[in-house]
Amino acid sequence: MSARELPGNPYVLLTPGPLSTTATVKEVMLRDWCTWDAEYNEIVQDIRRRLVEIATVGFPESYTGVLMQGSGTFCVEAVLGTAVPADGKVLILANGAYGERMAQIAQRLRIAHTVARSVETAWPDPEQLRTMLSADPSITHVALVHCETTTGILNPLDDIAAIVRQSGRCFIVDAMSSFGGIPMDIGELGVDFLVSSANKCIQGVPGFGFVVARRKTLEACEGRARSLSLDLYDQWRTMEKENGKWRYTSPTHVVRAFAQALLELDNEGGVAARNARYRANHFVLVQGMSQLGFQSLLDESLQSPIITSFLEPEDPGYSFPAFYAGLKSRGFVIYPGKVSLARTFRIGTIGDVTPATMRSLVDAVKDCMSWTLAGK
């Protein structure tokens, strides 16, 4: 059964999260759970173990998982607010809105920081990073967005991780839109904190995010947090000591859905198999859109298989609101553009979607463009 065929589900979400989920992920949310119940807490513990197993094959004993209520941004703020000490300083590599959001968080929390900015269609410059780390010994942490969904760019995590590792700094990676969909081993890379969310490539539903952290690094964070509810250390310590218990009310239905989504990731063949499906989705999408005359914003060498930005048509009859409404009426929801240097729209290729979904979308775009430009 496709996402659109589900009762009350009139369209497929082609967005970078929330995204279209399977019927079985939705179904498990029909049962209520008690946050204090041992059965529920064991589900939490199993999720924490599974997240570490996905994050690193070579160094599972060195890492631990923490779940945190709220969106992915809540977890990014929890990490920055807990990991960086009062006398620390974070260097943020920003080439999109989510790198800039980390800078906003640091400013709001009065964390010493500096921002190395790149244009939205280019990678952060590794040599600039190397130079800045060498010139400023007060920098204790480096933060990077792996997949910047502002554009869909996939930043060079391996190269940047190597420089940060060689410099001896703590490395924070916002892998919101890549974890579970792009293979990586954070132990080999030397990542200290990886942040992601339930409603991304694992294909769960919104309601909580999570952090996979180097255990020794997190243990050193006691008492640092600048927030009570976003104290990552205290959340982790409670889950460790009380067998999966959350400090405050947990999103039980969402947690259970995530456990099901993890099972379905395994059944699909793991991250490598999911990555292959996402790449196939992306290939069909770009090929089909190109045949219709649409141009991708990014060079393919920079592009992730997560979400793709397309330049808007220059035809005076085009308008994004009409285009969006036309696609929605045909069963597909896409994202508006977010970049500052061009007029774009974005189409996600993650979630419970396949290359066949992308072919249907391209047909809908063709039909919708005729409808839009005709002014109907």
96-110 pLDDT tens trace: 999 999 999 999 999
User: Minimum mean pLDDT among 43-57, 338-352, 359-373: which range?
Assistant: 359-373
- pTM (predicted TM-score): 0.95
Task: Identify the pLDDT of residue 341.
Answer: 83
- Give domain 28-266's CATH architecture: 3-Layer(aba) Sandwich (3.40)
The more confident residue out of 376 and 249 is 249
Domain covering 12-21+270-373, topology: Aspartate Aminotransferase, domain 1 (3.90.1150)
Task: Identify the pLDDT of residue 374.
Answer: 47
Strands (E), the chain: 12-13, 63-69, 90-94, 113-117, 141-145, 147-148, 153-154, 170-174, 193-197, 208-214, 307-311, 332-333, 335-336, 344-348
Q: How far apart are CA 59 and CA 62, in angstroms?
A: 6
Q: What would the pLDDT profile of 260-280 be if each residue is shown by its tens digit?
A: 999 999 999 999 999 999 999
Is the predicted pLDDT of residue 369 greater than 50, yes or no? yes
Task: Identify the pLDDT of residue 8.
Answer: 62
Domain assignments of the chain as residue spans, ordered by start = 12-21+270-373, 28-266
Quote the tokens at residue 294: 């649409």
pLDDT band for position 1 (cuts 50, 70, 90): very low
Angle, helices 355-373 vs 270-291, to 10°: value is 30
Task: Identify the pLDDT of residue 7.
Answer: 53
- Amino acid present at 49: R
User: How many CB atoms sit inside 10 A of residue 206's CB?
Assistant: 18
Residues 130-158 have a mean pLDDT of 97
Residues 147-151 have a mean pLDDT of 95
Task: Identify the pLDDT of residue 40.
Answer: 96
Q: If you count them, how many residues does the chain have?
A: 376
Contact 165, 190 (CB under 8 A): yes
Q: Which of 341, 330, 329, 334 is nearest to 363 (CA)?
A: 330
pLDDT band for position 372 (cuts 50, 70, 90): low
pLDDT band for position 3 (cuts 50, 70, 90): very low
